[in-house]
Amino acid sequence: MKVSARNSIKGKVLDVKEGAVMAKVTLDIGNGNIISSVITTDSVKELDIKKGDEVVAIIKSTEVIIGK
């Protein structure tokens, strides 16, 4: 996966809470650090994000984007 953002953090999905339109994805990025991102429920389904998956949090400005 190639992206233009320079800040990416690998992590493991701890939890996915899906709503009607948006979903909260919580990641364990190691050393007791946890981060969360709110993305569309459609993106969760398209990327097939589920608990235990290894993903990458891509941080650009004020957004945290999840890539798999």
Q: Order of strands, edge to edge, in the sheet holding 22-30? A: 33-40, 22-30, 7-18, 54-60, 63-67
pLDDT tens string 32-41: 999 999 999 9
pLDDT tens string 10-31: 999 999 999 999 999 999 999 9
The CATH architecture one would assign to domain 7-67 is Beta Barrel (2.40)
To 10 degrees, the CA torsion angle through 48, 50, 54, 56? 70
Helix (H, G, I), strand (E, B) or coil at 41: helix
CA–CA separation, 41 and 18 (whole Å): 6
CA–CA separation, 63 and 4 (whole Å): 14
